[in-house]
Amino acid sequence: MTKLSAGIIGGAGYTGGETIRLLLNHPSVSLNFVQSRSQEGKSLHEIHPDLLGETNLKFTGALDAKADVLFICLGHGESKKLLSEQMFPAAMKIIDLGNDFRLGDSESGRHFVYGLPEFQREAIRKAQNVANPGCFATTIQLGLLPLAKVNLLSEVHTTGITGSTGAGQKLQDATHFTWRANNISAYKTLSHQHLGEIIRTLSSLQPGFEHVNFIPWRGDFTRGIFVTSVVECQMPLEAVTEIYTSYYASHPFTKVSASMIDLKQVVNTNKCLIHLEKVGTKLAIHSATDNLLKGASGQAIQNMNLMFGLEESEGLHLKATAF
């Protein structure tokens, strides 16, 4: 079988590095090029040391290389600018891992489908361009989609904690080891940039829904997201659990756990694990993902698989480290 050819723009950061690792090991893909303005001419392993011995590819500065699928791993605002300035072949499929097209924006005739497979897998299969969801947005939405589907969402109160890789590779005060170690803090209280896509998705399933109160936290670890959402719910826990297990029965990466989940179960995987608890009329939905995989590069590969008619989990059978 002829392999798909893939290219990456913006390959020097965390999501670029994860996308490289996954594509190098994908049985149906050949990674043709990795572009980086800042690292042109360097071997990939000089920037991503774990790739030593895995590939001889070097970063290119050119944008004219050809591929069947292009992954854009640029900072927020840069993808739209790129597509306004650079023409790519109409047949080339594009998966954008930034924030630019998650609310339905288009650029230069390219219209983007929101790439959350558990929400609209069939639309992704038909898409030419996909906007990969945000990491917190993925984790929160997967915890709430089944309730929205059956019109059971009430006002949501959500807290979530993320590792330092969620802030990107560029050094900031809040990612410096001396600040992050043995520390925790809230940020962007009730104003996180992923709220727009969360509300857009949930309200499309449950018209009129608009209340998600989200407080994100910075954690003292490198990768992973753990979220707890609380809603009012009169239904017995057993019935709610059946709604969740039925909703996710055909989805290979989102699993409902009968026992409490923890972050180590999902780190280094493309899974989202969900656990439900109920006290009185309060339903607590715990959901956990790896922010760089199911929250970014892993989900991008999952979307690629769907767009090209491959088995959805191909190249993504990854195991958590556990210890």
What positions carry a catalytic annotation?
A: 135
DSSP type of residue 214: E
Torsion of CA 51, 26, 226, 258, to 10 degrees: -140
Contact 286, 270 (CB under 8 A): no
Spatial strand order in the sheet of 185-186 = 185-186, 212-218, 156-162, 225-232, 282-289, 272-279, 254-256
Task: For residues 140 and 287, give the distance between their C-alpha atoms in angstroms, rounded to a whole number.
Answer: 7
* Residue whose structure tokens are 């072949």: 89
Contact call for residues 146 and 283 (beta carbons, < 8 A): no
Handedness of CA 255, 257, 263, 269 (dihedral sign): negative
Q: CA distances (Å), 281 to each of 231, 234, 244, 284, in order?
A: 8, 5, 18, 10
CA atoms within 13 A on the CB side of 319: 3
State the burial class of residue 59 (Cβ atoms within 10 Å of its Cβ: 0-12, 13-18, 19+).
buried
Strand boundaries in 154-252, DSSP class E: 156-162, 185-186, 212-218, 225-232
Q: Is the dihedral of CA 193, 112, 268, 75 positive or negative?
A: negative
